[in-house]
């Protein structure tokens, strides 16, 4: 009985600490991860393998031909972007307590617009209707 109680107590403690450890990244913690992937992302964009979408995230243009490495790179980048969007929304909301809270979606949309403006001619973008187009 004592062994079962100890095991349950340990499992409960792990459940409480693991999510905290996984979400402990700060905006500064994320920067090196973005920088490390930047060259690979730029090459894949230039090769029309990946592109941006209106939700502020990357997307593989043709999942049937993309490598597992490319898919993992996109997934890792998007996970970090989502975490950054959450951190930024919380920070912006805290900095402006008299205004309505800033949503994660609003931060993501702003990121999408910023990335579109900074994109090079020929880079691919997925429109709201799901169509891929090259930036002019």
**Both tokens assigned to 17:** 């600490």
pLDDT in tens, the chain (136 residues): 444 333 333 333 333 333 333 455 899 999 999 999 999 999 999 999 999 999 999 999 999 999 999 999 999 999 999 999 999 999 999 999 999 999 999 999 999 999 999 999 999 999 999 999 999 9
Q: What is the per-residue pLDDT for 25?
A: 87
Residue ranges of E strands in the chain: 50-53, 58-60, 124-126, 132-134
What is the structure's pLDDT at 18? 37
Q: What is the pLDDT of residue 9?
A: 33
Cβ-Cβ contacts under 8 Å for 42 (sequence gap 6 or more): none
Q: What is the pTM (predicted TM-score) of this model?
A: 0.80
For residues 30 and 50, what is the distance between their CA atoms, to the nearest angstrom?
A: 21
Residue 4's pLDDT is 39
pLDDT at 122: 95
pLDDT at 49: 98
What is the domain partition of the chain in residue ranges?
Answer: 25-134
């Amino acid at each position: 009985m004592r062994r079962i109680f100890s095991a349950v107590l340990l499992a409960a403690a792990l459940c409480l600490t693991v999510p905290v450890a996984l979400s402990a990244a700060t905006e500064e913690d994320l920067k090196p991860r973005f920088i490390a992937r930047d060259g690979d992302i730029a090459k894949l964009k230039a090769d029309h393998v990946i592109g941006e979408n209106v939700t502020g995230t990357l997307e593989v243009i043709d999942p049937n031909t993309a490598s597992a490495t490319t898919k993992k790179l996109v997934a890792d980048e998007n996970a970090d972007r989502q975490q950054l969007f959450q951190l930024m929304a919380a920070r912006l909301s805290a900095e402006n307590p008299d205004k309505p809270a800033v949503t994660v979606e609003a931060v993501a949309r702003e990121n999408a617009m910023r990335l579109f403006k900074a994109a090079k001619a020929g880079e691919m973008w997925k429109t709201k209707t799901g169509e891929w187009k090259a930036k002019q």
